[in-house]
Structure 1
């Protein structure tokens, strides 16, 4: 087995263990698609390197009966990991231990899209503050990962797409962050990080085929197929926000008209809510304001707002119905700011999928709101940093 192929095999095994916990060899084979012989060889090598241990599972004592299975477990390295979540208008840095428990986090508001160097510098500063709050030093960091709100060319790690994060074009975020921290940094698209977060810590912990939808200022999908993140040939799979909607004419930042994100985004939904809520709640205090907007979860309890949110879900569901037909996922998890609306949004998505997807595929998929809400991307970065820590 070549060294690069061996490395990929080891990464698949470590990722499966990080996401699912202790596993038998047979379970590892099923989850990774690797042969029993490949699993056996890799487990031996990783155990020799001190990364894995084989342990006996199940209860012990007089009441235990039969032969208990042997499971493969990660040996957690001492130290902490650093996770960074770049949003379009915020940055969050968090410190966690190598089991995934958050120890401290710091956030700042910033126009990330138009100020890449300042965003990277701010992330470095926030990481230092979070480290201090957690009572650790930079020398104790064993893994770092970050999510960015745009497509990243996985072949070069450079931001290429000219229509999203325009000021980041030609920038290599992993290289820039690595230079600042003096350590390797794993960087991925934020929707992919969100899917990783849900798979490891959230609503998809027992699901290996699902779509994570980050619905905020833009709309992106993290595709997890067969237990692995699917990024496409160059890393930009899942950009569903630029799917054209028939009859829609709004101008999109990509230069086209009628893209999904021009109709369904947190910006558009809040704009529509501003029209319907004053009629229902005429006092200025009850109206959403730019300075202090009420959460969508609170607004969704009001009938007029729930109708707006459900309509947004129906429109989003039109696009997702095609993905359900193509990919036959077991679940769709709705995240991002819009995902906080919960059931009214999920209800609209479900209606469109039931109507436009093939009946067998529609029946097979569950629609649910993220259990991590707006922390999916941050926790996905935590999970990625833990895997990086295990790989060393």
Structure 2
């Protein structure tokens, strides 16, 4: 073999190792060799060679997988990155709140705190609050910013992944032109990984919740807006500029309300937690007293109320019709529901199931299980923790 062939082989092996380490960084609980082969498209022998090198370098460990033995009594093994002791911070910007959490690099939450603020129209104060909450979480868990290995945050709007700047001007108008990662880094003194809040919710459920073990699924954050975090082949899919999953701006036939994006009849003008609460306030009012939408009980508590269940299931059917198109295109194994509308709301989930079964291609519909998220309001901040851990591991292992 001449020097050119040797150099080519060496470069190919390095790309393979970088690819495997990056995938393992996204899956904190580890993966089997078969899963690594499937997700990378590499042969079993190439994966074996790569794992042997990474083990010898002290970057990964191989341990027995939980569950029963497979084959002729031989238990499958799981490959995972070596965990360095340290602390990370996850931050979640909602439309009307900011939450933060300090966690170990193993994903254990040490302290979580949150506060209300008008995030959409006060980006500067929201950034200040996020930094304050991050420091509070660290202090209450016995740490300081000097102990932090990584920070990640999710924002409720479109972020151009090429420039790390918020766009377009019709959504989060007061944030347009802002670089959230740079703003947080200036306040906290650490590099910050930034993503859309639905993408963070998907990562949270994938790492710690209802999507553990899934490689192809959609996370639906149904709250003041409607967004989707898309996971394909175990990795987030963000599209060409980072704004994939903005399903809330799919137009609904017959709907004519103006949307904040400048179009009429978008899904989120018909189904949002604000609209649904207004409808519920109407059907739950008594003959003697009207009911303000702010006084509507938590949606998960209304499943046994027939009138309220009708409102919630109709909202689910409307969202489900949009999701049926995604099911046809992406053939996911699950739709994981989150946000105020999706978390613990069985009538809403039932409405989605009904529409997906009716409008998606039968084989794709049968493969797409509709699941309620397990993390509830913590999904996005837990996803930010997972993203911070992944960024930390990639940095420590020197991969791209």
* TM-score, normalised relative to structure 2: 0.88
1:363 aligns with 2:366: yes
Q: Distance in 2 between matches of 1:211 and 1:294?
A: 28
- Give the drift of 1:77: 1.0
Q: Distance in 1 between matches of 2:143 and 2:214?
A: 34
Tell me, what secondary structure is at the counterpart of 2:112? Answer: strand
Which of 213, 223, 227 is matched with 2:230 structurally?
223
| Contact kept? 2:280, 2:293, Cα under 8 Å | no
- Give the drift of 1:43: 3.9
Match of 1:9 in 2: 19
| Contact kept? 1:51, 1:390, Cα under 8 Å | no
List runs of 5+ in structure 1 lacking aligned partners.
60-64
* TM-score, normalised relative to structure 1: 0.90
Write out per-residue CA displacement over residues 70-129 of structure 1, whole angstroms, 9 at most, x where no aligned residue: 542221111111000000110001011111111111111111111111111110000111
In the TM superposition, what are the counterparts of 1:98-117 in structure 2 within 5 Å?
A: 98-117=105-124
Write out per-residue CA displacement over residues 119-170 of structure 1, whole angstroms, 9 at most, x where no aligned residue: 1111000011111111111111111110000111111111122111111111
- Give the drift of 1:329: 1.1
| Contact kept? 1:32, 1:227, Cα under 8 Å | no
In the TM superposition, what are the counterparts of 1:284-363 in structure 2 within 5 Å?
A: 287=291, 289-290=293-294, 293-363=296-366
Of stretches 86-95 and 179-188 in structure 1, the one that deviates more from structure 2 is 179-188
List runs of 5+ in structure 2 lacking aligned partners.
1-10
Match of 1:134 in 2: 141
Root-mean-square deviation (CA, aligned residues, Å) is 2.4
- Give the drift of 1:214: 0.3
Tell me, what secondary structure is at the counterpart of 1:234? Answer: coil
Which of 33, 40, 55 is matched with 1:25 structurally?
33
In the TM superposition, what are the counterparts of 1:144-223 in structure 2 within 5 Å?
A: 144-223=151-230
Tell me, what secondary structure is at the counterpart of 1:374? Answer: helix
Give the 3 Å change call, closer, same or farther, for CA 266–3 of structure 1 in structure 2.
Answer: farther
Which of 261, 265, 270 is matched with 1:263 structurally?
270
- Give the drift of 1:38: 5.4
| Contact kept? 1:223, 1:231, Cα under 8 Å | yes
- Give the drift of 1:58: 7.3
Give the 3 Å change call, closer, same or farther, for CA 5–288 of structure 1 in structure 2.
Answer: farther
Residue correspondences, number: 381
Tell me, what secondary structure is at the counterpart of 2:158? Answer: coil
Match of 1:62 in 2: none
- Give the drift of 1:15: 2.8
In the TM superposition, what are the counterparts of 1:64-79 in structure 2 within 5 Å?
A: 71-79=78-86
Q: Distance in 2 between matches of 1:44 and 1:115?
A: 51
- Give the drift of 1:307: 0.5
